[in-house]
Every structure is written in structure tokens, then in C-alpha cells.
Amino acid sequence: MKKAIVGITLIFTSIISIAFTQKDKVPTVVKDAFSKKFPTVKRVNWQKEEVNEWEAEFKRKKKEYSANFLDDGTWQETEYEVDENEIPEHIISSVKASFSGYKIEEAEVSETVHGINYEFEIEKGKSEMAITIDSNGKIIHKESEDDERD
């Protein structure tokens, strides 16, 4: 009887494991869309980002990238970090004019079908903010981050 219970448990565990593996398997259409958009990239780490969205993490030109695709292969966004000296001057000027005294801690480029945005983590003392600026230098999002640590 114990052998039967152990056997059934093993079979059930295997079925569940296979079901989860199959469920989280990157659809071929998504892999194909990625290969078409980034034909020179060979190593990719895939993660399920949302219910119907996949995120590919990879290196390109010695930088860390992430690209998101829907289950049907539709590209959504590509993000990658940049150094401050790689950001157009009018974008930097917009940050400095709107957030005087803040220091840029991190900067990313976000490319979507709607265009390019610049995402920043900025800091002034204990005050931190996340901001997004469009390619024209207009602030399109800002969010204050609570820096208090207990």
C-alpha cells in the first residue's frame, strides 16, 4: 500500500511539474519575434513578466538589456541603462531645470512603439524620485520614493 501511495504521489508530482514547465515555456512566436528584432543576440534569459507578457534579458554592446513581448510576439518595450554622458543635452537640461540640486543615480532608455523615453532615479539628500522624460524633454511621470529606512 505504501508503494502505491508513493508511486501515485510521484506520478502526480511529475504531472504537475510538467504542466508548470509547459505553461511557462516561451512560445515559439515570441522567440521568433525576438530573433527578428535582435538577430545578433545569442544568449537570452526569459521570464514570464505578466499573464500574457514575456521579458527577455540579454547583453548587447556590453550593456544589460531587457525586451518585453506579448504572447502573440508583439514587441512592447526595450530598456537599457545608459551613462549620463550618453543622454542628449536637452534631456539633461530638463532634469537639472526641473529638479535643481538632484543628482542622477541611474538612467535608462525606454524604447516603445510610441517613441523613446528616458527614465531616471534621482536623489537629493534623503529624497529620491523616479522620473520619466520624453524625447522632447517633457516630464511625463514623476514619483517620489520614501527613503526612510527603519
Show the domains of the chain with their CATH numbers: 82-150 (3.10.450.360)
pLDDT at 130 over 60: yes
Q: Are strands 115-124 and 127-134 parallel, antiparallel or unpaired?
A: antiparallel
Q: What is the percent of the chain where pLDDT is above 70?
A: 81
The pTM of the full predicted model, rounded to 2 decimals, is: 0.75
pLDDT at 24 over 80: no
As a whole number of Å, the CA-based R_g of the chain is 22
C-alpha cell recorded at residue 139:
516630464
pLDDT at 53 over 80: yes
CA distances from 121 to 50, 78, 146 (A): 24, 18, 13
pLDDT at 69 over 60: yes
**Do residues 64 and 57 make contact, with C-beta atoms less than 8 angstroms apart?**
yes
Express each pLDDT in 74-114 by its tens digit: 999 999 999 999 999 999 999 999 999 999 999 999 999 99
Predicted confidence at residue 86, as pLDDT, reads 95
Of 50-54, 89-93, 146-150, where does mean pLDDT reach its minimum? 146-150
Q: What is the mean pLDDT of the chain?
A: 86
- Could you give the 3-state DSSP secondary structure of residue 47? strand
Predicted confidence at residue 23, as pLDDT, reads 52
CA distances from 4 to 9, 13, 110 (A): 8, 14, 55
Q: C-alpha angle 8/12/15, rounded to 5°? A: 140
